[in-house]
């Protein structure tokens, strides 16, 4: 992936993630993306010397964006927010532990009429970068995606507005 392609992907990622702030304005999304990138300048400098650090930079960028999103929602007391990182532990992405951790988040979000459940690093947890995305790994990934969607739908009140984001 070229640097321009990765930069454009990050811009669209930020625009979608912060739509409540940017109103789909790419200029504002670029400002947020630049602020996050500025906070990672040291890692970006290391990446220019070691191109294999790109995955590490992407993970740090996503984590910084998730923290910023959590901060932006903390100013909206009526809006619930929960972030689940599937790579938090070695067992987080297994169905049993994923169910437990997602249920913890859904319980926290249950008291809010509007809520966001952010799921990050699910694909890297099930298909680590050096491994190929084939057969069983892709099936496990698809099954866990569907499981999380179904669990969120089943455990969310019909009157609630839950946004489920996978990054």
Tens-place pLDDT, residues 72-87: 777 777 888 898 888 8
A 10 A CB-CB count for 6 gives 14
A 10 A CB-CB count for 90 gives 9
pTM: 0.75
The residues near 125 (Cβ < 8 Å, ≥ 6 apart) are 86, 87, 92, 93
Give the pLDDT score at 3: 67
Is it the case that residue 162 has pLDDT exceeding 80?
Answer: yes
């Amino acid at each position: 992936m070229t640097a321009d392609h990765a930069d454009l992907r990050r811009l669209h990622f930020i625009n979608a993630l912060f739509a409540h702030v940017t109103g789909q304005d790419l200029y504002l999304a670029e400002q947020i993306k630049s602020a996050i990138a500025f906070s990672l300048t040291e890692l970006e400098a290391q990446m220019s010397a070691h191109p294999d650090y790109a995955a590490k930079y992407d993970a740090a960028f996503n984590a910084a964006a998730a923290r910023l999103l959590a901060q932006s929602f903390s100013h909206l007391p009526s809006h619930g927010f929960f972030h689940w990182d599937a790579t938090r532990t070695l067992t987080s992405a297994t169905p049993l532990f994923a169910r437990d951790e997602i249920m913890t988040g859904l319980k926290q979000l249950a008291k809010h009429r509007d809520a966001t459940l952010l799921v990050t690093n699910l694909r890297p947890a099930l298909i680590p970068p050096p491994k190929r995305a084939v057969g069983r790994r892709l099936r496990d990934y698809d099954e866990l995606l569907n499981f999380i969607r179904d669990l969120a739908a089943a455990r969310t009140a019909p009157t609630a507005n839950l946004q489920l984001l996978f990054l």
